[in-house]
Amino acid sequence: MQKIVIDAMGADLGSKIVVEAIKDFLKDYKDVQIIVSGKKEELKDLEGLVKIIDARDVMQMEDGALEVMRKKETSMIKAIEVAKKGEADAVVSAGSTGAFLTAATIHLKLIEGVKRAALVSPFPTRDGSSVVLLDIGANSENNAEQLLQFAKMGNIYTKNFKNIKEPRMYLLSNGTEKEKGSPVIKEAHKLIKEAKFKGFKGNIEAREVLSGCADVVVTGGFEGNIFLKGTEGTAKMISGLLKDAFKKNIFTKLGYLLAKSGINDMSAKMDYKNYGGALLLGVNKVVVKAHGSSDSRAFYNAIRVAYESNKKSLIEKMREELK
Amino acid sequence: MQKIVIDAMGADLGSKIVVEAIKDFLKDYKDVQIIVSGKKEELKDLEGLVKIIDARDVMQMEDGALEVMRKKETSMIKAIEVAKKGEADAVVSAGSTGAFLTAATIHLKLIEGVKRAALVSPFPTRDGSSVVLLDIGANSENNAEQLLQFAKMGNIYTKNFKNIKEPRMYLLSNGTEKEKGSPVIKEAHKLIKEAKFKGFKGNIEAREVLSGCADVVVTGGFEGNIFLKGTEGTAKMISGLLKDAFKKNIFTKLGYLLAKSGINDMSAKMDYKNYGGALLLGVNKVVVKAHGSSDSRAFYNAIRVAYESNKKSLIEKMREELK
């Protein structure tokens, strides 16, 4: 039976969405034991279902490396410590991304041979499938050797999660030709090519990432973060304009009512909440960062990501293949 | 009377969209003289309206710096040479971006004091206004000092094109706090802050760029290109999903017909073709890169960008303020 420890605090919508997600999850999955850290008075509904660790302090959004070392009484650090002691296989939190990634890396340590951890998440694609990008923001600068490791980790992740033998892998650049890119990207291209991944297809432009042609896209954390948030911002803007469009007059409003089922299908395809959390690859435990604005369904899916990673022995496979 | 030289070749849809755009433009604007380079047999409809320079060769999409030096008979180089000789104030081309930017920089030279030219373009924002980003792809790596110059050039451009005294300026990063970002971005933040732009507001995340809160966003060419193409790809994906949504069944199809006027308003707001071309800032002439896939309306707007830049004496203002 696998064990997952969950930080119940730090989500924008409060601990109640976490409590709800855990209750739902335990209804659907029987072979899992859950440990929860947080203010115990907010976790009453979970009594008898999970092990509760009372934590009086909460990591704040703006907290960085310094607070990670100081704030030992936070639900986040207490959750990570459970995993550190070997009492859980995975940690899930919706709290401050910077603090969570820093704390997880410090306490759980990088897998032997790994230079930098990377945050990986699937994005929906035009063809109804998905593509994973890494790093989407664990680092603010990466060198070519680190990008090569991201390629390796992304490859292992995709082989296991998508059940593909040879994931179609690309390197994000400003042009498709191999001589395109910053000096770091050009060097990374060379290293990834030399590593002879069977599915490596070369460079990809940001325009094609969501087209469905790729299974894995490798990028540095800074650019990956810009891609991630750029797509979020564009989607938000278009959905706002679409709302305006339907509100224009009585005909457009009626049009919306008629087209609603199609629009809902579309929204479902785009909805990041179906994808759950982003995985931090390269550390010695399964570490899942749920979106700060998660609702209970999104947080449920973040727990599911942790659960499936354990099921697929992702950490063991990383350790073996990255040696 | 201002003079604009236009490379008629190199657009994906062929020279006919350029010919059509020029004819339309000359109907609307009387105080401009146009010179066109290209295969003269394709430019017959322009005889008597413009000065035609016959050019037998065309710069290819994949052509780089080497071809720029070699292919002197291309319509692109011939157009740039007209500007170089002082016989035109502006050059417009829809041909290979790499070749065009390289050739323009080599032949027209950087304005005194400028280290790197930058490509700038407006993006539509949620509030129906626009934001300009630079550099969106003239460079594949930039240092902090170059980013400071982009801030200066973006400021001059926006003051003149948007008629704003103090453009709200941001630096693109992976977090809003000033200590967020790659080492180059952190250093650029310091330099821009020290330069005391009245409208500098600090860092911006990619998610907020299109929200309407910014007039100018400064970024390196590599990340800027990823932002630009990432938004293009996302918009394309959503518009594809939207088409599927409306095609789902007879009700959604009817819904589309009813909502069409609103949807068309939305498409118009999003349409880059209304914005025309991207300007290459920092060289001694007005240089406008039209989108490769331009139709005649988009190319018309690219000519308009050149025309208005001349009207506003953009180059003279750059020279003065960048000294």
Confidence of residue A272 (pLDDT cuts 50, 70, 90): low
Answer whether B86 touches A (CB < 8 Å): no
Contact A252 B262 (CB under 8 A): yes
Residue A164 lies in a domain: yes
Taking contacts as CB-CB distances below 8 angstroms, the residues of chain A near B206 are: 225-230, 232-233
Instruction: Specify whether B34 is located in the same domain as B158.
Output: no
Instruction: Specify whether A60 is located in the same domain as A139.
Output: no
Instruction: Specify whether B240 is located in the same domain as B286.
Output: no
Contact A209 B233 (CB under 8 A): yes
Nearest chain B CA: its distance from A56 CA (Å): 27
Of A177, A211, A259, the CB nearest to B245: A259
User: Strands A51-54 and A286-289, how do they pair?
Assistant: unpaired
Residue B277 lies in a domain: no
Residue B242 to residue A238: CA distance in whole angstroms: 11
Residue B283 to residue B220: CA distance in whole angstroms: 18
Residue A7 to residue A16: CA distance in whole angstroms: 12
pLDDT digit string (tens) for chain B, length 323 residues: 999 999 999 899 999 999 999 999 999 999 999 999 999 999 999 999 999 999 999 999 888 878 888 999 999 999 999 999 999 999 999 999 989 999 999 999 999 989 999 999 999 898 888 999 999 999 999 999 999 999 999 999 999 888 899 999 999 999 998 889 999 999 999 999 999 999 999 999 999 999 999 999 999 999 999 999 999 899 888 888 888 888 888 888 888 888 888 888 777 777 766 677 899 999 999 999 999 889 999 999 999 999 999 999 999 999 998 88
Instruction: Specify whether A168 is located in the same domain as A187.
Output: yes
Residue A2 lies in a domain: yes
- Please tell me the predicted confidence (pLDDT) of residue A69: 86
Instruction: Specify whether B62 is located in the same domain as B126.
Output: no
Of B206, B228, B247, the CB nearest to A229: B206
Quickly list DSSP for A137-195. Answer: SS-S---HHHHHHHHHHHHHHHHHHS--SS--EEEEESSSSTT-S-HHHHHHHHHHHHT
Residue B18 to residue B95: CA distance in whole angstroms: 12
CA dist list (Å): B263 to A247, A264, B295:
10, 17, 21
Residue A130 to residue A127: CA distance in whole angstroms: 8
Residue A104 lies in a domain: yes
Instruction: Specify whether A192 is located in the same domain as A77.
Output: no
Could you tell me the CATH number of the domain that includes residue A255? 3.40.718.10
Instruction: Specify whether B107 is located in the same domain as B125.
Output: no
User: Which token pair is A58?
Assistant: 């909460």
| pLDDT tens-digit series, residues A205-226 | 999 999 999 999 999 999 999 9
Contact A206 B236 (CB under 8 A): no
Quote the domain boundaries for residue B163.
Answer: 120-272
Answer yes or no: is pLDDT of A312 > 70: yes
- Please tell me the predicted confidence (pLDDT) of residue A2: 95
Instruction: Specify whether A197 is located in the same domain as A234.
Output: yes
Instruction: Specify whether B143 is located in the same domain as B202.
Output: yes
Residue A153 lies in a domain: yes
Quickly list DSSP for B120-168. Answer: EEEEE-TTS-EEEEE-SSS-S---HHHHHHHHHHHHHHHHHHS--SS--
Which of B231, B251, B272 is the last residue in one of the domains? B272
User: Which token pair is A26?
Assistant: 């335990």
Contact A238 B241 (CB under 8 A): no
Instruction: Specify whether B57 is located in the same domain as B93.
Output: yes
CA dist list (Å): B274 to A283, B124, B214, B267:
48, 10, 20, 11
Of B141, B230, B266, the CB nearest to A206: B230
Q: Secondary structure of chain A: what % helix, strand, coil (to 5)?
A: 50, 20, 30
**Which positions 53-82 of B are in contact with A (Cβ < 8 Å)?**
62, 64
Contact B177 A211 (CB under 8 A): no
What's the structural domain count of chain B?
2
Instruction: Specify whether A265 is located in the same domain as A174.
Output: yes
Task: Please report the ipTM that was assigned to this predicted complex.
Answer: 0.90
Tell me what the mean pLDDT of segment A167-196 comes to.
95
User: Strands A130-134 and B278-281, how do they pair?
Assistant: unpaired
Residue B228 to residue B137: CA distance in whole angstroms: 9
Residue B303 lies in a domain: yes
Residue A290 to residue A8: CA distance in whole angstroms: 11
Rounded to 5 degrees, what angle do the CA atoms B236, A130, A276 make?
Answer: 110
Q: Helix, strand, or coil here: A37?
A: strand
Tell me what the mean pLDDT of segment A87-95 comes to.
96
Residue A203 to residue A175: CA distance in whole angstroms: 7
C-alpha A189 chain-centroid distance: 24
| pLDDT tens-digit series, residues A137-169 | 999 999 999 999 999 999 999 998 888 999 999
**H helices present in chain B, as ranges:** 15-28, 65-70, 75-84, 97-108, 144-161, 183-194, 221-247, 250-270, 296-311, 314-322
Answer whether A140 touches B (CB < 8 Å): yes
Angle of helix A144-161 relative to helix A183-194, nearest 10 degrees, comes to: 50
Instruction: Specify whether B44 is located in the same domain as B104.
Output: yes
CA dist list (Å): B32 to A293, A301, B71, B138:
54, 61, 29, 28
Contact B245 A263 (CB under 8 A): yes
Residue B58 lies in a domain: yes
CA dist list (Å): B21 to B16, B286, B303:
9, 19, 8
